[in-house]
A and B are shown apart, each in its own frame.
Chain A
Amino acid sequence: SQKIEQNSEALNIQEGKTATLTCNYTNYSPAYLQWYRQDPGRGPVFLLLIRENEKEKRKERLKVTFDTTLKQSLFHITASQPADSATYLCALENDNFNKFYFGSGTKLNVKP
């Protein structure tokens, strides 16, 4: 079965720097991969979706890359702000394309 791995250690960075989070998967390559933001006690919020034939996707200060050879996606937040502090989750569909599974998430702390 698919295993989705994210760095469980919190990432602490200074305001203004670029945060880079990693999502690795172990089995089949999904048709697309998604990133979500989750604040404490809240449901996740969709951020970006990148398809297998896309190398990179951008949305404002966010950038996602998808390397199907490495089985890895990188999520970047440029010019980070304290308001970006949250847990970021990556998600993949299963091989039947009818369910979504999530990684454990990486907590980002942006310090002023």
Chain B
Amino acid sequence: GAVVSQHPSRVICKSGTSVKIECRSLDFQATTMFWYRQFPKQSLMLMATSNEGSKATYEQGVEKDKFLINHASLTLSTLTVTSAHPEDSSFYICSATPGGTGELFFGEGSRLTVL
């Protein structure tokens, strides 16, 4: 299957700082990538759809100025959590579907802890 890689897998930061998470499709091109957030024992909540070469589409209730998404190439999307606070601590996961197959391939996830 297709491979999606995420980095970093774990990050701890101080409150008020910004954190960037990278998502790469290693063996296919992805015009669209999806960013999810997952709190402990809860399901994946779609945050935004990242579109290559254009602005991301955010889900209702997700602050686009806080969660900056950039999809500068067909293999890389980045999520930047700006001015992070403890309530932003969560598991962030990206995914992509190659060639419109409908199957989502996920990255390994990034565990963010804001102190």
Contacts and interface: CB of A to CB of B under 8 A. Distances in A.
A102 B91 CA distance: 15
A100 B34 contact: yes
Size bin of chain B's contact surface: 20 to 34
Given A42-B108, A46-B1, A104 B42 contact: yes
Nearest to B106: A43
Interface in A92-112: 93, 98-105
B93 interface: yes
A32 B1 CA distance: 19
Chain B interface SS verdict (over half): strand
Contacts of A101: 46
A45 interface: yes
Contact of A42 (B32, B44, B105, B109): B109
Given A46-B103, A49-B102, A89 B109 contact: no
Given A34-B103, A41-B111, A99 B46 contact: yes
Interface of B: 1, 4, 6, 32, 34, 36, 42-44, 46, 49, 91, 93, 95, 102-109, 111
